Chains A and B, each alone.
Chain A
């Protein structure tokens, strides 16, 4: 079952300049992105900084204005709804933020942070509310007395788990995870990722996982899309992309993953050099004269690549 479908989504930001601050140009942060998320799967969006992956995620929760295109959630187009009309959907789509330090209000206690969504959507007595918050704290592995603490009393990993608990309280169907572990150190990353997977099983969640760490994405995602300059350049099952990358950008991205084996280090360097020359010689096969990636074309039933 298709839960979320993006259809030719575009998010353009105006660049203002000149005397009257007229719109002189646009930054095409997201420029025609289409993909689908099935119920219960994890879809990864990877790309370099500024490729528009976070903007895509934020557009789904309406943190960015959508310029054109559709965001179909269970068949309803979220892009065309006003702030008021979108409110019931907020319950079903939640977001985990990248930075656990700025995403929790420093003036609020954990209880108030985690209960905020509950207070918006449900009428609960303080004791019921507290019980739910305790349950979720327990689930994310924080001690019961943390309920009266402030965010600054926790470590980065613990804070991120508070953020996750907050996004779970309404029992959403879709969670947008915007680089949820990139601000955490590696040992805590694994802990949080495994934990996200356990929660997925338990609550039958669907994840849209935005990230730039290819190892993390491979560990987490069933399917993934590779973004470059606001366009999807390749999309398919994770194995397909890792084992059989077709687009030159994807190839280079995967070749850039550091290898721990010292013996293959020289081979890797050679491979990267080869790919660089291939990139230069076959550039026009993958990008048009404006440097824009072509539209995606299917090369198998699950694998699509932006080729001429």
Chain B
């Protein structure tokens, strides 16, 4: 630590940008660096490989090759429909990650804007936004999702993202609001007000950076958590159709005791994939969290 500060003593001309700080932080943390490499490798491979794969071909049932063990033809064997598990794993990982990323992104955007507004202005604004949130929370989520799933003509990844976003933003908004409420009572916000800074600037440039560590941690945890989001719906029979494979679909094949006990190649790779993705996302998240807080930085 001491040695590092000695090296950085030459006066820098510009404040280092956020991305630079994050990069320095990740470089300092071997675990985060390793996780980032693994994560990037998996994602690049999965998204790259899925471009060359024919999803329809993979979803095609082939009765001649049911429950085949891993071989050179089928790297990870086949499932009860004779479909290639490796292909399903690639496309499933892609689907699951895309779902997770977009749900997390959309809920973060909605939750962040409403939470900041409610927290910063308080009073009537806060009241209106919080009552809307209460209303959304009071709705029977699962029933709504099942009804929508039954009604929509084509049930695919985009519809799924949309429905889940509709219900999942409330928790974020409440979290951000509570933090913003306590931050706005601090003197630096008052100081900005007396310095003539307009509200929108205070919210974006004073309040937002101070809730950012909370957002990042929450974002990462959600990103990791949402990867397995569709598996519970799959379990109920309202998940994505088998034509759009996901990690949840693969894992839920293990409901069959025979598959669980004897046909490990169907569900173990998907479970490992979720484990590795979640862990590496979390490790990177830890580094990001430190980067967001000047006092915790190592770099």
Contacts and interface: CB of A to CB of B under 8 A. Distances in A.
Interface of A: 58, 61-63, 87, 90-91, 93-95, 97-99, 102-109, 111-112, 116-117, 120-121, 144-145, 147-148, 150, 152, 163, 166
A97 B187 contact: yes
A13 to B, nearest CB: 14
A103 B194 contact: no
Interface residues of B, number: 22
15 contacts: A62-B194, A63-B194, A87-B196, A94-B195, A95-B191, A99-B187, A103-B188, A106-B294, A109-B15, A120-B195, A145-B11, A148-B11, A148-B15, A166-B191, A166-B195
Contacts of A99: 187
B294 A117 contact: no
Contact of A121 (B9, B188, B196): B196
A163 B190 CA distance: 12
Given A63-B193, A94-B194, 7 more contacts: A63-B190, A95-B191, A97-B190, A97-B191, A103-B187, A105-B188, A108-B206
A116 B187 CA distance: 15
Nearest to B210: A107
A292 B186 CA distance: 32
A53 B9 CA distance: 44
Contacts, number: 74
B192 interface: yes
Contacts of B192: 105, 116
A152 B209 contact: no
B282 to A, nearest CB: 24
Contacts of A103: 186-188, 190-191
A107 B294 contact: yes
A239 B76 CA distance: 92
B197 A104 contact: no
Contacts of B294: 106-107, 150, 152
Contacts of B131: none
